Amino acid sequence: MNGSCFKDKVIVITGASSGIGLASAELFASFGAKLSLAARSLDRLEALAARISPDSSRVLCVKTDVSVEDDCRNLVEKTVEKFGRIDILVNNAGISMRALFRDLDLSVIRSLMDVNFWGTVYCTKYALPHLLASKGSVVGVISIAGFAGLPGRTGYSSSKYAIRGFLDTLRIEHLYDGLHVMIFAPGFTASNVRNAALTADGSRQGETPRDEGKMMTAEECAMHLARGLRRRSREVVLTPIGKLTVWMHNLFPSLTDRLEFSYMAKEPGSPFRK
């Protein structure tokens, strides 16, 4: 892929210390972009920054908990202070869950909405004036669960649907302002998101119920993200099963419900069975 269009662009990436965020940071750095990287662990970010780019002047690391509004404001302010502009905001930070709603402590849904939805809202709110000035791009990394409800993931699906609704509306509001808004739905991608997923009581799952080796790699996912940004795509849905799920959900919703139930019930340790 020709990444010359990203040279010297200022790109903010949340959740940049692992998975899709880290892979995207490495890819955009190879294209010559300037990066502002956000995550809760500053030590980890700074250790990774040296690997991402040998030129420390082109990478900014900002300790950020996206569920905290002041942290998101600080991230944007520090980025503009260092680089003078923002061209692309990638709202990637997120957490998942696995439990039936009937068993779920409501604090789990609040946590997912705080990180996934409100994190996207906060970062976008403070970056928006700069993105409008640069006629830049804002990306929301969601999931197929943001198009079709995923059983055992009520909080996760709710947060991803909310992000999609928020960004779709933002796109319309700025239809004639040159702002590019992209919904990015990777489908199942190899990452630590399932290891860190919350269970019914809010504790971490600790291990993934899926074979990560059979999933799309974070690096491949990052390449699709860059391609979507280069084309200023409205929506990017990845993986064959992801695309099929979205298509079937629109045309055959009842059948899709049954197929989703059967598919997810096959997970090892699934909280529900037929």
Q: Can you tell me the distance from the alpha carbon of 37 to that of 119, in angstroms, rounded to the nearest whole number?
A: 14
Q: Can you tell me the distance from the alpha carbon of 174 to that of 49, in angstroms, rounded to the nearest whole number?
A: 34
Alpha helix (H) residue ranges in 140-239: 154-173, 218-231
Of the candidates 122, 126, 156, 161, the residue annotated as catalytic is: 156
Q: Can you tell me the distance from the alpha carbon of 196 to that of 175, in angstroms, rounded to the nearest whole number?
A: 37
How many CB atoms sit inside 10 A of residue 97's CB? 23
Longest dimension (CA), the chain: 56
How many CB atoms sit inside 10 A of residue 162's CB? 20
Active site residue 126: no
Q: Can you tell me the distance from the alpha carbon of 103 to that of 84, in angstroms, rounded to the nearest whole number?
A: 48
CA atoms within 13 A on the CB side of 126: 21
Tell me which long-range contacts 172-179 makes (C-beta under 8 A, separation of at least 24). 174/132, 177/132, 177/135, 178/132, 178/135, 179/128, 179/131, 179/132, 179/135, 179/136, 179/137, 179/138
Q: Can you tell me the distance from the alpha carbon of 199 to that of 206, in angstroms, rounded to the nearest whole number?
A: 10
Q: Can you tell me the distance from the alpha carbon of 29 to that of 168, in angstroms, rounded to the nearest whole number?
A: 28
3-state helix, strand, coil in the chain (%, to 5): 50, 15, 35
Q: Residues with catalytic annotation?
A: 156
